[in-house]
Structure 1
Amino acid sequence: MIDSMVAAEEDGGVAYTVREFDGDRDRDSAAVERLEQACEVGPSGGKLCLFTDLLGDPLCRVRHSPAYLMLVAEAADGPLGTEIVGVVRGCVKTVACGRGQLFSKVAYLLGLRVSPAHRRRGIGRKLVERMEEWFRQMGAEYAYVATDTENEPSVRLFTARCGYAKFRTPSVLVHPVFRHDLAPSPRAAVVQLAPREAELLYRRRFADVEFFPRDIDAVLSNALSLGTLLALPEPGAARSWRGVEAFLAAPPESWAVASVWNCKDAFRLEVRGAPRLWRAAARATRAADRAAPWLGIPSVPNLFDPFGMHFLYGLGGAGPSAPRLARALCRHAHNVARRAGARVVATEVGACDPLRAGVPHWPRLGAEDLWCIKRLTDSYGDGTLGDWTKAPPGASIFVDPREF
């Protein structure tokens, strides 16, 4: 236990304690899972809005990071006795700052939840402050957090009360997985790279992309990483593939790459707030696809019960045809997800990323994210970076799948 992470306050006769998550005590009680299910984490009205099932592991979304911590807020004398009323997770890693392969140690704060019955009592802010103490102990220079632009209470908490600044505005793009495979692109070849090949490609071509993780090898070799796909503009390129080193020595004018992460074995989502008409229409599309599969009807999977997804990370490329090749990658990833039983494929791209135009998605299922950042130290390291919080955005951003 981290003694410095414990604090107690009283509000209206209820004593609140912030402490480190205790795996045996808290997991067995399922209190964290109940809290997760009571808190929507995105806009309702037909969007992916709730993590409903942590598959028995509340640490699943940070466990794969190099260093991680989970804190809970506990109401010691509430009407229901001792209960968990708040939770937050955090992890620390080293990432690129987008300036000539400069790296900085940063912390990511995620999964902040406060029980609806205990909000407006400063619990969320206290959880954030205590987590920031641990970030500083771990040597993090910056902390950042992602929230939905429509989540006004969350935006106010971080920007007005916790000292974070609005930083980047990537978009979460989501596409449903149909009952049938999508036809591969006739003008592209998709090659699957081994983890070592993928690492070499990412380090050579993406090491100066903002938030690129220095431990990309650990990400690519993780059991949840299902492989890396490289799209080339020549349809027969897969047959003449000579390895990633030959590719890097003489790359084609256009290419695109992405890796697949298996979120369905980490957490579940569901759509809440969708009108009955939407549900009926979705059932109708599935029935039509079953009756006439040769028509390729875009059948909407059942998103109204808990389901899993695949996430595309490391999406990038070069050349004028890169968006078209990104579309070929997405079609291939859709078919991989269909065979694995995932119901959606999602990715997150920067606001100015040119590959965004090639990513097929349904706007109603996606979201506009807001990344906020805060400098945790008074120094600027070796002086070459300056204040990253004031840096203008680049064209791309690397979204670590361990934190999605």
Structure 2
Amino acid sequence: MREEVVKVLVREFEPERDREAVEILEKSCEVGPSGKMALFTDLLGDPLCRVRHSPCFFMLVAETCGPLSLIVGVVRGCIKTVTCGKKANRSPSGEKQYTPIYTKLAYLLGLRVSPAYRRMGIGLTLVQNMEQWFRSKGAEYSYIATDTENEASVRLFTRRSGYTKFRTPSILVHPVFRHPLPLHHRRIKLLRLSPSAAELLYRRRLSTTEFFPRDIGSILRNKLSLGTFLALPSDHPWTDLHGFLAAPPDSWAVLSVWNCKALFRLEVRGAGRWRRWLSFVTRVVDGALPCLGIPSVPDVFRPFGMYLMYGIEGEGKGAEEMVRVLCRYVHNLGREGGCKVVVAEVGEEEPLRKGIPYWRGMSCAEDLWCVKRLGEDYSDGAVGDWTKAAPGKSIFVDPREF
């Protein structure tokens, strides 16, 4: 089908002038592919909320030309420095070590086009203009995340904008029940790490992981960070993180929590009456008889918030169970904080994936990340062309961009 073309003016978002129009546009657009049920996002009156916590960000709107100009499209972008590979070297003792190779990476997100103005070239125009800004800031690569079933989005980026399918992580979603989950951690103890201790641990353990942000400290110190939690054997003689790193136990696990609820709300629309009735019944039973531990379905048919678990790492035979305990702990935090779901996004081969509880029907088995090299004049460096690099076992999901 041939696309109709409409003339638009692409310009920088102006908060006072454009806030209301962008909010209306956002509320008219579903997230992901259309179907019987669709997910809608409410940015709580701040169109920049999904990028403003990044070190460098920008937002563009597309406005129709003419006397009755309308904002019919929007896109956001941010830039950071991340790990794209690792370099082997030898320590003074002769032990093989790895150091991260960094690149300046741009992330393109929040692309929305009004339903009445789709298939008119507006999305492509917004993407091209945002890429110009990325290049002006020296970004070497750009990437996007979309749903593998969103054919229109995949076609726009891979066929028309030069992006390559790169990674397919999974978004694992677990509902928050009305009853707290028992932790069952008589042999496991949980500690909360300070931001400085968490930063040191992540730099030691995850700095060579793909997409690891060089400014991890600013993430951990952000007001939206709800903490970093470490699981250890209950008999481990904890003193401080330096002692832990010098002599770690046989098994341990760690993760951090980000408060997405303070940024945006989600809402499922289009569900049939029987789905709503069934979820309501489970909540009633769970509320009346919490001792039974009924896995109730939260009310996701009205605006709801979530917590994101990121920086999931661990070691040893018991790490999987420790991650499971940590996830239960975050579930209970979400229950106290009024969230309806807790979420994690992990790589295809993530070793600790089995320890993360989730509901298949609420999760996304394959989130699609596509990447594009923005300029051939950049030096290949030690990693070569990152778009051609084989995937590692893990990826680091930046909570600022979820």
- TM-score band, normalised by shorter chain: over 0.9
One-letter amino acid matched to 1:195: P
Report what 1:157 is aligned to: 156
Give, in angstroms, the shift of residue 257 of structure 1. 1.0
Task: Give me the TM-score of the superposition, normalised by structure 1.
Answer: 0.92
Structure 1 residue corresponding to 2:22, chosen from 32, 56, 61 = 32
Shift, 1:166, TM fit: 0.3
Do structure 1's residue 66 and structure 2's residue 49 form an aligned pair?
no
Provide the residue aligned with 1:294 in structure 2.
Answer: 291
Partner of 1:227: 227
| Correspondence 1:152-191 to 2 at 5 A | 152-186=151-185, 187-191=187-191
The equivalent residue for 1:360 is 357
Q: Which amino acid aligns with 1:74?
A: E
Q: State the TM-score, normalizing by the size of structure 2.
A: 0.93
Q: Which residue type is aligned with residue 24 of structure 1?
A: E
- Whether the 8 Å contact between 2:72 and 2:117 is mirrored in structure 1 is yes
Partner of 1:248: 245
Which amino acid in structure 1 is aligned with residue 54 of structure 2? Answer: S
Q: Structure 1 CA distance, aligned partners of 2:331 and 2:38? A: 18
Number of aligned residue pairs = 385
The residue that corresponds to 2:91 in the other structure is none
Q: Find runs of 4+ consecutive structure 1 residues off by over 6 angstroms.
A: none
SS at match of 1:247: helix
Match of 2:261 in 1: 264
Residue type of the alignment partner of 1:208: T
Structure 1 position 380, deviation (Å): 4.2
Deviations 1:129-148 (A, max 9, x none): 00000000111000000001
Gaps of 5+ in 1: 1-10
1:96 aligns with: 83
Match of 1:54 among 36, 43, 47: 43
Q: 1:274 aligns with which of 271, 274, 287?
A: 271
RMSD between superposed Cα atoms in Å:
1.5
Q: Which residue of 1 aligns with 2:90?
A: none
CA contact (8 A) 2:165 2:368 kept: yes
Instruction: Describe the superposition over 1:35-75 as per-residue Cα deviations: whole angstroms up to 9, x where unpaired.
Output: 11111112466877221x21111000000000000000011
Which residue does 2:129 correspond to in 1?
Answer: 130
Matches of 2:385 and 2:38, distance apart in 1:
35
Distance change >3 Å, CA 124–CA 45, structure 1 → 2: closer
Code of the residue aligned with 2:111 in structure 1: it is: L
Q: CA deviation at 1:273?
A: 2.7
For 1:188-203, list aligned pairs within 5 A: 188-203=188-203
Q: Give the unaligned 5+ runs of structure 2.
A: 88-99
CA distance in 2, matches of 1:325, 1:302: 29
Q: How much does 1:289 deviate?
A: 1.2
- Residue 103 of structure 1 aligns to which amino acid in structure 2? Y
Q: CA deviation at 1:76?
A: 2.4
Identity score, percent: 61
> Counterpart in 2 of 1:120?
119
1:145 is matched with which residue? 144
Q: Equivalent of 1:22, from 14, 33, 47? A: 14
